């Protein structure tokens, strides 16, 4: 069976792992790094960049460089309007859909398309590592992702050409990696503070069974928020001193954001960080520079509200699990931002446990996903993963009230049914409005979709019996069925419509992705061929100089001739012709090498010289006197 890779599709960085020899292994990307920035960019030449190469050029190309896209996946315009000012790239509305605009491409992309590019790179790098094409993956999502966000993540995988076998929660994946060798039953709290999302999960782990008891989180809280408080602090300080708001300049904002992230990381191990951004902007008085010192104390003061939000969610997760501090055996830290000292101290106080930092917070989620991939492929035995649905699910009833059918923290997969009836005499149609959330009123929850059941026999109100069934699969994706028990009429729907993309849009994006993949491959081949040719020209010219008096004029002339032809062809974009000329140079160099070694084996002109050589050679093997 082909390998199933595990992918942690992160807000800031992504990571891929695979099972090898019964153990999970993190897959290094093409650049040799174990994590890949979740960044996609488009250049002026309309080339697509993904990962580290995209992140490096962000300052000079902020309007066409997209990061932290995970915050928008599966979300509609009205849900992100309050956040649109917090991101360093253009977000626009197309109807109710969120689109990310690229000025150089002259078009907008859905968050699923951008995320698909990251997934495709991870899969391509994994294919090179394994020596076989990767087509199947287990992908992780924040535990608090709703149905539409999970479906959108699957859509991103489809666009990337991947079959997503399972969607699992990030904290659950971390526990899977951490607790693989646990023998005794333990209650573990997973604290996962990533780049854009935050989750807390409490699990029972032991004897190969991983059961989630409770999960709680915030899909809009993460390292990006901690970066932003530093960005705002630096920008406000500069504005007071110089009268210029750097946040209104895209390039300056990108530099500020990168400096804030760097300062945040440094403050995890140092008590202060020096921020130095020369030529950050210019006024009528000339260029302006930003120089300041940020202390850990100031950073913690700025992030007080964020720390408090983390604390409240820890308490909620423990309350839902009916767990006290003494019930917890272990607290595992996951996500890059979990390294912040104030966060570590918060967790220590809130749980009464010393946080476990033995696992790599940047890699543990993908490792857990790889283990789950091993379970699905049959490579890993005796492991049972019991996850939960993070948010309550229900239907609208009279008075615009939500009737909860599946409470949050229900173990999945699950099947729930309830009987409903009509609200008016003679009613022959009912509308099933599906909702997700924890509030009592319909307007305060997220609408997942609506469908209609027709053909109900006319009867007094309250007489017809309509059975509504909720089915949640192992990915946490919902299907709903409504059946009139009297007539047998039935209607069902899989809440794929909760995604921001229609099936036709996904299919079109898959086709576009395949087309672009071929185009990108051709471009990459052309670049690699040119680079190879330039390298060979350098090596050949160097050999001609070094071996000038050791090769025949004929072989030297032949190499010079094919080199000239290759140089001329390099000025064109004809990759096939460059490859042909490249082979010609290689052949000429090999022939020159053969000539060189054959001349060394020629018979010397003087027998006397040969005798002298024989004497020397013989002398080398004369046995030393004892």
| Residues carrying an active site annotation | 8, 70, 170, 192
Helix axes 503-546, 553-570, angle to 10 degrees: 150
What residues contact 307, with CB distance under 8 A and at least 6 apart?
300, 342, 343, 346
DSSP summary character for residue 441: B
Are 579 and 587 spatial neighbours (Cβ–Cβ below 8 Å)? Answer: no
DSSP summary character for residue 433: E
- Helix (H) or strand (E) holding 560, with range, is helix 553-570
DSSP summary character for residue 440: S
Cα–Cα dist 575/581, whole Å: 10
Q: Give burial (CB, 10 Å; 0-12/13-18/19+) of 1.
A: exposed
Best CA proximity match to 556, nearest among 608, 593, 518: 593
Q: Give burial (CB, 10 Å; 0-12/13-18/19+) of 183.
A: exposed
575-593 burial: b if 16+ Cβ within 10 Å, else e:
beebeebbebbeebbeebe
Cα–Cα dist 602/187, whole Å: 81
DSSP summary character for residue 622: P
What residues contact 180, with CB distance under 8 A and at least 6 apart?
371, 383
Q: What are the phi and psi torsion angles at 247 (to 5°)?
A: -70, -10
Cα–Cα dist 233/223, whole Å: 16
Cα–Cα dist 289/278, whole Å: 4
DSSP summary character for residue 221: -
Instruction: Starting at the earlier edge strand, list the strands of the sheet with 91-94.
Output: 91-94, 97-102, 107-109
232 SS3 class = helix
Alpha helices in 163-303 (DSSP H): 170-178, 223-242, 250-266, 296-302
Cα–Cα dist 353/188, whole Å: 11
């Amino acid at each position: 069976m082909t390998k199933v890779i595990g992918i942690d599709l992160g807000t800031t960085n992504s990571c891929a792992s695979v099972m090898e020899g019964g153990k999970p292994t993190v897959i290094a990307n093409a650049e040799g790094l174990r994590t890949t920035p979740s960044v996609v960019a488009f250049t002026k030449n309309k080339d697509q960049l993904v990962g580290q190469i995209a992140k490096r050029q962000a300052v000079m190309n902020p309007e066409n460089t997209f990061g932290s896209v995970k915050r928008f996946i599966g979300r509609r315009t009205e849900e992100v309007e309050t956040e649109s000012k917090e991101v360093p790239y253009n977000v626009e509305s197309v109807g109710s859909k969120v689109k990310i605009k690229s000025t150089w491409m002259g078009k907008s992309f859905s968050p699923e398309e951008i995320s698909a590019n990251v997934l495709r790179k991870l899969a391509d790098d994994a294919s090179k590592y394994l020596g076989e094409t990767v087509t199947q993956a287990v992908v992780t999502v924040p535990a608090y992702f709703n149905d539409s966000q999970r479906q959108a993540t699957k859509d991103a995988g489809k666009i990337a050409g991947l079959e997503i076998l399972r969607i699992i929660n990030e904290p659950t994946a971390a526990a899977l990696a951490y607790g693989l060798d646990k023998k005794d039953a333990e209650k573990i709290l997973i604290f996962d503070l990533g780049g854009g999302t935050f989750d807390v999960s409490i699990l029972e782990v032991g004897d190969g069974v991983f059961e989630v008891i409770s999960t709680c989180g915030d899909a809009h809280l993460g390292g990006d928020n901690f970066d932003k408080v530093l960005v705002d602090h630096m920008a406000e300080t500069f504005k007071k001193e110089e009268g210029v708001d750097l946040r209104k300049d895209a390039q300056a904002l990108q530099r500020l954001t990168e400096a804030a992230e760097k300062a945040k990381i440094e403050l995890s191990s140092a008590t202060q960080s020096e921020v130095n951004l020369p030529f950050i902007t210019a006024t009528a008085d000339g260029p302006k520079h930003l120089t300041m010192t940020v202390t850990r104390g100031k950073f913690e003061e700025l992030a007080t509200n964020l720390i408090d939000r983390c604390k409240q969610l820890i308490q909620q997760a423990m309350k839902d699990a009916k767990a006290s501090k003494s019930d917890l055996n272990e607290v595992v830290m996951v996500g890059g931002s979990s390294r912040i000292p104030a966060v570590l101290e918060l967790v220590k106080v809130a749980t009464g446990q010393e946080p476990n930092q033995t696992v790599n917070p940047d890699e543990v989620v993908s490792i857990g996903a790889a283990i789950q991939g091993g379970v699905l492929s049959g490579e890993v035995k005796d492991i049972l993963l019991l996850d939960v649905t993070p948010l309550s699910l229900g239907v609208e009833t009279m008075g615009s009230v939500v009737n909860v059918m599946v409470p949050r923290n229900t173990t999945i997969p699950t099947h729930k049914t309830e009987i409903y009836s009509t609200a008016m005499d003679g009613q022959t149609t009912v509308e099933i409005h599906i909702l997700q959330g924890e509030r009592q009123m319909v307007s305060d929850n997220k609408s997942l979709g609506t469908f209609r059941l027709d053909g109900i026999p006319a009867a007094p109100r309250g007489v017809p019996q309509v059975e509504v069934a909720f089915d949640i699969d192992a990915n946490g994706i919902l299907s709903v069925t409504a059946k009139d028990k009297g007539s047998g009429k039935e209607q069902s729907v899989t809440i794929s419509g909760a995604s921001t993309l229609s099936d036709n849009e996904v299919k079109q994006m898959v086709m576009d992705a395949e087309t672009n993949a071929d185009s990108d491959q051709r471009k990459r081949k052309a670049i690699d061929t040119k680079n190879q040719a330039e390298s060979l020209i350098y090596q050949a010219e160097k050999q001609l100089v070094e071996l000038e008096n050791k090769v025949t004029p004929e072989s030297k002339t032949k190499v010079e001739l094919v080199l000239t032809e290759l140089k001329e062809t390099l000025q064109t974009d004809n990759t096939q012709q460059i490859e042909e000329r490249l082979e010609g140079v290689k052949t000429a160099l090999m022939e020159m090498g053969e000539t060189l070694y054959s001349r060394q084996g020629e018979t010397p002109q003087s027998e006397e010289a040969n005798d002298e050589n024989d004497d020397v050679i013989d002398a080398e093997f004369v046995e030393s006197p004892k």
